[in-house]
Amino acid sequence: MSIKLRLTILNFLELFVFGAWLISLGGYLFGNLKFSGGQIGGIFSTLGLASLVMPAIVGIIADKYLNAQKLLGLLHIIGAGFLIYLAQTQDYDTFFWLMLGYLTMYMPTLGLANSVSYSLLVKNKYDVVKVFPSIRVWGTIGFIVAEVAVGTLGWANNNTQFYFAAAISLAMGIYSFTLPNIPLVTSENKSIAERMGLDAFALFKEYKMAVFFIFATLLGVVLQISNAWASAFMGSFKENFPNSFVVTNSNTFIALSQVSEVLFILTIPYFLKKFGIKTVMIMSMLAWFLRFGLFGIGSPEGVGVGYLVMSMIVYGAAFDFFNISGSLFIETETDSKFRSSAQGLFILLTNGVGAWFGAKISGAVVDHFTTNSVSDWYSIWMIFAIYALVLAILFALVFKYKHNPDKIGEVKH
């Protein structure tokens, strides 16, 4: 089996595990376990908490003490155990700590899987820039396949999704041990602070970078909102539209968002060259406004279905334009001595700090607009939409950046 095929399988399984429970989790907690908005927000905040320090710590272990592919396998095998216990848990406190424990195992594997792929491609003399994107896209496909499978098999609203994810996680763990060995690093002794990007805080002395990182954090607030609440929102139509495809196949319907994500990645080189990073970032914020606003006016019948479909379509621009353009902005605008640290800081602020605040705040918003277990989803989504729109306006006013197409160069993914 070629190394490209082996890494394609690796990336497919890596995100298959995530897709097996992430999108359906909110609906399961809301509809099956009857958790409150604040409690569900607390559960999703563990994504941010686990992203704050664990990737850096795991990176050091993979460099110095345990081969990366073995560490990747070990984390997935331990994670499978956490998932099995999650399937058997129904009280909030236990569920919270088990989910935090699981995500401290899983979240570092996202970066670790990339590192393993890069190392093995280089070892086998492949051009990483040209080859890796065609391998990595199978990760997103794995996420979509898992998401659709869970919905189609009727597991989205019960604990079977966790047993399913555990089985795939165990398989992923065992498979990782079969990969070629990744040598330990004997040089480049980076500290935890450097790996987390904390030394890049020096960039805050520059107005442009300070504004960028502040807004990156504020936009990070919205990253997990639709993951947390889309499934519960679709489930709210069950009483009035029990036979609607949107209700009976909500996971499959929501998977259109990930399909859109794959497609919009292909458009980014054009938009960056044509309009520049500032405009593309604003497009992302406006896409988030549309994502939430269209959810607010959507419904499972008539023109309402069209609004929901459009919400799924704009998700690709909302997610990709922010993450990829932000990373490229750092790549082109920071000094080489801070570049790696700045990328780490970007991830920490968006997927860590921003995502944590987003989970907690969104839970409070849902609770505020929920009475006697009935949620006013129109108001909920409009609050989120207004937040994204205000961000777009403020960013356009305070972020000063002149587009230079030549600086972007040949953008590749």
Residues 250, 287 share a domain: yes
Of 182, 217, 250, at which residue does a domain stop? 182
In a domain, 198, yes or no: yes
Q: What is the pLDDT of residue 324?
A: 75
Q: What is the CA radius of gyration of the chain?
A: 21
Of 182, 216, 242, at which residue does a domain stop? 182
Using one digit for the tens of pLDDT, what is the confidence trace for 219-238?
999 988 988 899 999 989 98
Q: What are the tokens at 381?
A: 């989504």
Residues 227, 145 share a domain: no
Distances (CA, A) of 123 to 8, 136, 144, 285, 342: 16, 18, 30, 39, 27
Dist. CA 362–CA 225, nearest whole Å: 7
Percent of the chain with pLDDT over 90: 58
Residues 224, 124 share a domain: no
State how many domains the chain has.
2
Q: What is the pLDDT of residue 196?
A: 61
Using one digit for the tens of pLDDT, what is the confidence trace for 57-72?
787 787 778 888 999 9
Give the containing element (helix H, strand E) for 374: strand 374-375
Residues 307, 241 share a domain: yes
Average pLDDT over residues 360-377: 94
Residues 201, 177 share a domain: no
- What's phi and psi for 370, nearest 5 deg? -120, 125
Distances (CA, A) of 197 to 52, 222, 331, 399: 11, 22, 14, 22
Residues 334, 231 share a domain: yes
Q: What is the pLDDT of residue 189?
A: 62
Q: What are the tokens at 189?
A: 């002794």
- Owning domain of residue 7: 1-182
In a domain, 142, yes or no: yes
In a domain, 378, yes or no: yes
In a domain, 187, yes or no: no
Q: Is the pLDDT of residue 362 over 90?
A: yes
In a domain, 82, yes or no: yes
Q: What is the pLDDT of residue 412?
A: 42
In a domain, 273, yes or no: yes
Residues 6+ apart with CB under 8 A from 242: 248
Dist. CA 108–CA 348, nearest whole Å: 12
Residues 6+ apart with CB under 8 A from 216: 326, 346, 349, 350, 354
Residues 199, 113 share a domain: no
Q: What is the pLDDT of residue 347?
A: 83
Residues 150, 8 share a domain: yes
In a domain, 116, yes or no: yes
Side-chain-side CA neighbours of 60 within 13 Å: the count stands at 12
Q: Is the pLDDT of residue 19 over 90?
A: yes
Of 163, 182, 201, at which residue does a domain stop? 182
Q: What is the pLDDT of residue 183?
A: 83
Helix (H, G, I), strand (E, B) or coil at 189: coil
Q: What are the tokens at 61?
A: 């272990």
Residues 365, 223 share a domain: yes
Q: What is the pLDDT of residue 91?
A: 96
DSSP secondary structure code for residue 138 in this structure: H
Higher pLDDT, 322 or 391: 391
CATH label of the domain that carries residue 159: 1.20.1250.20
Are 15 and 142 within 8 A, CB to CB?
yes
Residues 163, 71 share a domain: yes
Bridge partner list, 371: 374
Residues 171, 296 share a domain: no
Residues 218, 123 share a domain: no
Using one digit for the tens of pLDDT, what is the confidence trace for 233-282?
998 998 889 989 988 888 899 999 989 988 888 787 788 888 888 899 99
Q: What is the pLDDT of residue 197?
A: 61
Q: What is the pLDDT of residue 53?
A: 76
Q: What are the tokens at 92?
A: 């909030």
Dist. CA 324–CA 333, nearest whole Å: 14
pTM: 0.85
In a domain, 159, yes or no: yes
Burial 108-138 (b: 16+ CB within 10 A, else e): bbbbbbebbbbbbbeeeebeeeebbeebbbb
Average pLDDT over residues 337-363: 85
Q: What is the pLDDT of residue 192?
A: 64
Residues 6+ apart with CB under 8 A from 265: 137, 316, 320, 324, 413
